[in-house]
Amino acid sequence: MSLPYINRELSWLEFNQRVLNEGLRADLPLLERVKFLAITASNLDEFFQVRVGGLMLMRRSGRKTPDVSGLTPLQQLQAIRRRVQKMLDDQYGLLANELLPALAENGIHPLQMKQLDAVQTDQVSAQFHANIFPLLTPLSVEADGDPPLVPALQLTVACKLVDEETKAIRFVLIPIPESLGRRITVTHSAGGLAFVLIEDAVANLAGTLFPGEKVLSTGCFRVTRNGDIAVQEEDAIDLAGEMEDVLAARKLSDTVRLELQVPLPRDLTRVIQDISQAKPQVVYRINGPLGLSSFMDLAFLPDFDRLRDAEWPSQPSAAMSPGESLFDAISRHDILLHHPYESFEPVLRLMEEAADDPDVISIKQVLYRTAKQSRVIDALIRAAENGKHVTVLVELKARFDEARNLHRAEELQRAGAQIVYGVKGLKTHAKICLIIRREAGRLRRYVHLGTGNYNESTARLYTDISLLTCRPEYGADASLFFNAVTGRSKLLRFQRLVPAPNAMKPKLLELIASEAERARQGDPARILAKVNSLQDPEIIAALYEASTAGVDIQLNVRGICCLKTGGKRRAKNIRVVSIIDRYLEHARLFYFHGGGDPEIFISSADWMGRNLDRRVELMIPIEDPGARRQLLRILETYFKDTAQASLILPDGSSERILPAKGKKPFRAQEYFFRQARRAAKAREHERAMTLEPHVPTD
C-alpha cells in the first residue's frame, strides 16, 4: 500500500500563504504587513522560475509519471494555477482594501498620475526628463522581424502608436531598468511622503519618446522565465565558463508566467503574448501594480519607525569577554551561538583575527551565499595577501547567487587563494571553516560549523546556530572533509561529523528506527526536529513507522511538509507546527531520546531528497553538556509558541495555534531575544562585580 504524501509544490504554496497571513493581521505594525506582502511576491517569483519552470520542462518532454503524491506534471501545473490565483486574490485584496488606505492615513501616499494636481504633475515630468528619459531604450515590434527580447522580471510598458502623418499603427515596448527604482516622489498637501509608481509615469509620458507619433494606448506587463537551467557538468571542462553560459541562457529561456496589469486593450494583450510566446495557461491578469516584491523598500522608509516593530538588537555572547581573542575563548570550551539573538560578530571576528594572526598557517572554508560587502571574503583576501594558505570552495551552483560567487571567486584567486568550484555532480551546502594555528610548537585546529551561510546580512534576519570548537576529533574530521571535497575523494572515516550524501540519511534512518524499536519495547521514545522542509520519502516513511510504533514525534517545519498529518494510524503520534515570525526560521536541529542518553545534532541539511542525496552537507553532533541543554531548550520552546505558530493540517493547509483561554500568547522568538539580552546583562554585571578587565580591540 502506498503511503500518504502531500504534493511538494502545493505544500510550498501553503507555506507562502502562512507568510501572507502575517500581512493579513491587523494587529501587526503597518510596514511589517507591507514587508510580509512583499516577501510573498518575491517568493512567488522564485517559485515560478524554478519549480514551475521545472514542471513545464517535464510536461514538454512528455513525462506523465506521477510524483509520490500521485500527481502528474500536468496535474501539478493545473493545481498550482488554481492555488496561485486564490493567493493573488488575497494579495491584491490586502493591498487595495487594507494596506494602501492605511498607508495614506499614516502619511505615505501612493498616487496615480490621474490624481496629481498641476504642481505634482510638473514635479513628475521634471524628474522623468532629468533622470528616467535618458535611460529608457524603446524596442520596436516589427511585424516581419524577430520579436524583441523582454528582460525577465522587469516591468515593461507596451505602447500602441499612430503616426500623425501616415496614420500607420505600430507597437513599441519600453523596458524600465530596475536601477531606476520604483517610486517618483512628489510633494503632498498633507505632508509625509507621496509618490507615483515609475511605470505609471512612463506610460503617461511615453509620448515624449516618439516625436511625430501619438500614443493610443499603453499597458504594463512582466515576464517570468524558466530559471531551472542546470550546468551540464559531465561535459563541462571549465565550470566557471559553463556557469556563465547558464546565466546567459536564463535571459533567453521560456516564459513560465506572464503578468498583465488590467485593464489592458485586447490588441496590446495579443502583441505581448506573441512577443513573450506565452500560452494562455501561464497568463495572469493582475488588478493592481505588478512586482509587489519591490514594495519591500517601503518597509524600511526613514522617519516611519512608529509603523515598524521595535528593534531586537543582537546581543554579545556571554561565553566570551569583550575584545578577548576568539582562539583563547574557544580553547576554554565549545561556544554555541544562537543567531540572530546572539550576534554573528564572533564568527566574523574569528575570520578577521585568523587573517592577521602570524601563528595562523591555513584557512579552509566553504562559501555558498555571501553578503554583497562581505567581511568574510575581505578577511580571506587579507589572509591570502598575508601569506597564509587559503583554500575556498566556492559553490557556483547556489541558485541566483552564481554571478556574485563568480565575481568574488575571481577576487580571491587574484589575492592568491586556492579556489575550488564545488564538487562535480553535487551542490556543496555544508557550512564549515577550518583554521590551523601553530601553538607551542604544535598545530591546533579550530573549526566553525553552522546551519547558516557565511553572510553577515542574512545573519541578522535568519535564525541559525553556530558551533565554535577546537575538539581534536572535530578538527580531524574537518581536515578529512576538505581533503575529500578538494581532492574528489570519498567522505569516509569520520569520527564525529556525519556527511551527506553518503552517511547522513542512513544515520537518520538508523536513529528513527532505534526510537521505534524502543517504543515497541515499551520504553520512552521521542523525536524532536526543526527543519525548513520535510520531503524525503524514506525519512517520511520511517517517521510514519516510528509513529505507528508509539514514538512521540514533534516536528517544527517552516516550509514544505510532504508528510500527511492526522489520522488514527500512521501519523497519530506526529504533530507538525510551522512558525512564521519576524526572523526567518533557518536552523536545523535534531533530538533523539536514545533511551535517556539523547543524541542532539545541528545540520546544514533539511530532510529533503536534494539535501540528503544530491548535496554535500554536514550533520554535527553536539557533545558539550551546556550546549546540549541549550539546544534542547530551544527545540522545546518552539513547540510552546501560541503567538506565531500554525498547526499543519492533514490536507497540507494550516491553522493558527491560539493560547488557552485566559492565557497570554507565548512568542518563541521574543522569548529567545529576551533570554539573550538577560544573559548578556548578567555577564556584564558579573564582569563589573569581579572587576574583570576590558580588553580593548585595537
Catalytic positions, written as ranges: 429
Neighbours of 90 (CB within 10 A): 16
Q: How far apart are CA 266 and CA 351, in angstroms?
A: 59
What grid cell was written down for 289? 501594480
**Strand bridging mode 108-111 / 193-197:** parallel
Q: For residues 155 and 222, is the Cβ–Cβ distance under 8 A?
A: yes
Nearest to 386 by CA among 415, 349, 347, 419: 415
| Helices 53-60 & 73-94 angle (0-180, nearest 10) | 150
Phi-psi region of 58 (alpha: psi -120 to 50; beta: other; left: phi over 0): alpha
Return the residue matching grid coordinates 502583441: 271
What grid cell was written down for 578? 510551522
Q: What is the DSSP letter of 454?
A: S
What grid cell was written down for 187? 510633494
Q: For residues 589 and 631, is the Cβ–Cβ distance under 8 A?
A: yes
The secondary structure of 42-78 as a DSSP string is HHHHHHIIIIIHHHHHHHHTT-----TTS--HHHHHH
DSSP H or E run through 130: none
Q: How far apart are CA 548 and CA 204, in angstroms?
A: 64
Neighbours of 486 (CB within 10 A): 15
Strand order in the sheet with 193-197: 108-111, 193-197, 183-186
| Helices 8-23 & 30-47 angle (0-180, nearest 10) | 160
The gap from C-alpha 406 to its chain's centroid, in whole angstroms, comes to 20
Q: For residues 341 and 314, is the Cβ–Cβ distance under 8 A?
A: yes
Q: How far apart are CA 405 and CA 367, in angstroms?
A: 8
Q: How far apart are CA 681 and CA 316, in angstroms?
A: 9
Contacting residues for 681 by C-beta, under 8 A, at least 6 apart = none
Q: How far apart are CA 155 and CA 487, in angstroms?
A: 45
Return the residue matching grid coordinates 493581521: 25
Q: For residues 253 and 229, is the Cβ–Cβ distance under 8 A?
A: yes
Phi, psi of 277 (to 5 degrees): 55, 40
Q: Say what the alpha-carbon torsion angle 573, 578, 583, 588 is, to the nearest 10 degrees.
A: 40
**Strand bridging mode 283-286 / 335-339:** unpaired
Report CA-CA distances (Å) from 567 to 12, 278, 536, 595.
22, 42, 20, 27
Nearest to 365 by CA among 381, 380, 347: 380
